[in-house]
Structure formats: structure tokens, C-alpha cells
Amino acid sequence: MLGLGQMAEMLSSGALLGWLLTAMLLGHYYLNWPGMKLEPLQRLLIGLLWAVAARAMVSAIGLAFHQQLLADINAVVGGLLGLRWLAGIIGPAVTGRMAQLTLRIPNTQSATGILYAGTIMALLGELVAELLAPPGKIPL
């Protein structure tokens, strides 16, 4: 049976990756039909930023519960932890906001490229979080 923390971790991770990947794929669809309205993509980007905020909260709570990891931190773990937060949380937030601003021009091709980079960063961050987490615990 999954605990509340593990359930929150799975939902927030799925929301982050789902919103980001869906926004990126919809952006690709705009490249084929450039006359489409931008509101659906703009709504997806708002949802993405909420998902990033939820993922950041769950990850911060997970980090607070991993006091042993923080006590035994070394250069490798510190580097991976930095990569997790820079690529997995801050990166998707920045790229999501950049895509929002790019749609004001409007330039869906650039927004799609930005979202592609955000998707790669989010996947990297989630993989590093799984690598750092002790078995059966909430990933960072």
C-alpha cells in the first residue's frame, strides 16, 4: 500500500511530466496548422506552472524528510541534488514561463523548441530524484 507521501510524489511527478509533454506535443501540432487559436496552449502552460509548483513543494517536503542524506552529503550527492533542483524544478519553471512570453509574439515554433528543452530537463531531474531517493522513500 502506498503512503500519502508516495502518492503525492507520483501525482506531482506525473502532473509535471504530463503537462509539459502535452504542451510540447500541442506546440508541434501548431507547426502543422499555424492558424489555430493559442488559448489551449496558453492554458496548458498555466497548468504546467502549477504542476511545477506542486512538484517543488512535494520535493521540498521529501528533502526535509531525508535528514540522513543531508547529513552525509558529499560532492557527488551535492552535485546530483543540485542537478535535480536546477534541471527538474527550476528548468521547467523557467522554460514554461519563457514559452508563455514567446506566445505573446506569437511564435509557436520557438515556444515548442523551448518546451522541448524543458521536457528533457524535467525527465533528467526526475531520473536524478529517483536515483537519490532511498528505496521506499519519497524522492527528492
Q: Mean pLDDT in the chain?
A: 89
pLDDT at 101: 97
Helix (H, G, I), strand (E, B) or coil at 104: coil
pLDDT at 31: 86
- CA–CA distance, 56 with 37 (Å, rounded to integer): 31
Taking domain 4-132, whether its CATH number is 1.20.1250 is answered by: no
Domain parsing of the chain, residue ranges: 4-132
pLDDT value at 20 more than 70:
yes
pLDDT at 103: 94
Residue type, position 96, single letter: G
Decide which of 69 and 51 is more confident: 51
pLDDT at 100: 97
pLDDT value at 115 more than 90:
yes
Is the separation of the CB atoms in 12 and 51 below 8 Å?
yes
